[in-house]
Structure 1
């Protein structure tokens, strides 16, 4: 057990400076520019999926929440909302940034996510022209989902808090995986997670819908431990929308529309994940 503990900490401690600097930059962006980005999304209708994909790729919770609020207020199209959701990767990007050896993987994920988000966004806008809303909600209320921890604290405190939480969670996941490999063996774990099978991207896509950082952290760590394939990681990150989907579930009255959004994301993620798995 002591060996597993030492091994887990040995891999994670070098991540701390990278995680902190990444979250510090994220907090700075979120505190300075959310209103500008909100106005940009609302005003550029024809460029919505393009701009949404570029904003969504920035690793912070605000953009998916903003997109959900603007969609409920009929300020952006379904395609723009989907572009933001698909481009969002929650906490996976900071974790990969903290692993310099994964730089190529990180750039491939970012590039592919932008492309897929744009394509799916414009495709859905071409097929679905409008949506209806029963009751509108103010963006002020929606923003509170992303600001529950702030309570007047500065960005350094928030970056440290986020770094600590993610570090602890990654440690728990890494410790559990190392223990499992020690106890049941890597081959058995790969068998349980259908490693190499076309079903793994399907499972990963479903996992991505978990509405907090847990999904992206687990997926990233499984990939770093070579248990999850790149196609499965990508499928899971396509459905990892941060708090955006949770906001829709709590505040949006049109449940059929939410189901449509979830199905579009799931089908897109599994198709692309299986394609990447095979080719």
Structure 2
């Protein structure tokens, strides 16, 4: 009975402390991307002298979209390898949204540190012409992607971002979905239910945030408990149904969001469901861990004994492609489970979902980008760890 009660409480906490506010912030970022990302992309293409700075700026945009759109530009020779590295270092993926709603101060600190690190590393790499000898076999990639299409079944043509129809990016990264029922559900049903629940729950979530929910209105308390639990469970079920594991978004979805407000609403709902699912895993796992190691004091003793290994562990997690593990780690940081140095090290070396399209187009580039992320992650993480201790 205790475990059922714990499960129930965590579902409510996740939806009202994270889900609702992440939905609003992610939607706002999506709408800003829809309006302004095209401007930055045009600047990237025209101004090679400042490409590293613009790429780093795209990476700093919360979510994976900014770094993802740099990938096709690099593959097509529109930006330098240093610019690609800068975007990958500065991006935190969807883990950024967890910090925004859970610890905004830590988010801006990470933003500044990773931003400076990304620009310095990008400029260093371009200055010494590192990565210029990477050869991408476009003909081989085009042949490998011959079964790929630039639209899903029944989906209208959408505006291509940073590439053209029929090029290597179109052939390799745009694939027809085999799960039509998932497509129909996301584009006709799921997102409408989701946003309706968020709109109705927002006033209560705000009240919950301000600790003003200690009233005696049992109806409101019951509504929050039931709706919060339903919201989290629906997110988990949708994530499982769509067969997502660690990848929250891909190039197709990022491009669709940048071309249509409706697609922004649809894919934002998908991303929030994915994000809420991972936060639930993190919160539930953290609560279970505390019960076995003797609470907060036991955790503090554990971290002190492990020392710098915690930072190294965060870097190793950052090497895993996708946003899922990074979301989990950010949620654990908010709960007090890891030090700030580990969070920063992870933020620098994790590439979110942006690594997937790069792996599909150029494995050698993906390997080198990962290497050039790990080095500054260990150096900066180690320096911050020394300051903490």
Instruction: Please give the range of the TM-score, normalised by the shorter of the 2 chains.
Output: 0.7 to 0.9
Paired position in structure 1 for 2:80? 77
Distance 1:126 1:261 in 2: 16
Instruction: After TM superposition, give the deviation of residue 141 of structure 1 in Å.
Output: 4.6
Instruction: After TM superposition, give the deviation of residue 6 of structure 1 in Å.
Output: 4.5
Q: How does 1:259-278 map to 2 (within 5 A)?
A: 259-278=367-386
Structure 1 length-normalised TM: 0.87
Paired position in structure 2 for 1:146? 251
Paired position in structure 1 for 2:285? 176
User: Does structure 2 conserve the Cα–Cα contact (< 8 Å) formed by 1:57 and 1:114?
Assistant: yes
User: Does structure 2 conserve the Cα–Cα contact (< 8 Å) formed by 1:65 and 1:143?
Assistant: no
Paired position in structure 2 for 1:160? 269
Distance 1:194 1:259 in 2: 33
Query: What per-residue deviation string (whole Å, max 9, x for no partner) do you get for residues 173-218 of structure 1?
Result: 2112211221343566667777661222221112112221112211
Query: What per-residue deviation string (whole Å, max 9, x for no partner) do you get for residues 125-179 of structure 1?
Result: 1122524323246343566432259698532233233222211221122112211
Distance 2:336 2:251 in 1: 32
User: Does structure 2 conserve the Cα–Cα contact (< 8 Å) formed by 1:56 and 1:83?
Assistant: yes
Q: How does 1:35-184 map to 2 (within 5 A)?
A: 35-99=38-102, 102-128=103-129, 130-136=132-138, 138-141=168-171, 144=174, 145-148=250-253, 153-184=262-293
Distance 1:47 1:123 in 2: 13
Instruction: After TM superposition, give the deviation of residue 31 of structure 1 in Å.
Output: 3.5
User: Does structure 1 conserve the Cα–Cα contact (< 8 Å) formed by 2:44 and 2:55?
Assistant: yes
Distance 2:267 2:304 in 1: 38
Distance 1:69 1:191 in 2: 46
- Per mean C-alpha deviation after superposition, the further-off stretch among 28-37 and 82-91 is 28-37
Distance 1:92 1:195 in 2: 27
User: Does structure 1 conserve the Cα–Cα contact (< 8 Å) formed by 2:64 and 2:94?
Assistant: no
Instruction: After TM superposition, give the deviation of residue 251 of structure 1 in Å.
Output: 1.3
- Larger of the two Rg values belongs to structure: 2
Q: Structure 1 residues 178, 140: CA separation in 2 closer, same or farther (over 3 Å shift)?
A: same
In structure 2, the gaps of 5 or more residues are: 139-166, 175-249
Q: Structure 1 residues 262, 193: CA separation in 2 closer, same or farther (over 3 Å shift)?
A: farther
Distance 1:258 1:209 in 2: 11
Structure 2 length-normalised TM: 0.64
In structure 1, the gaps of 5 or more residues are: none
Query: What per-residue deviation string (whole Å, max 9, x for no partner) do you get for residues 214-237 of structure 1?
Result: 122111012112121111111111
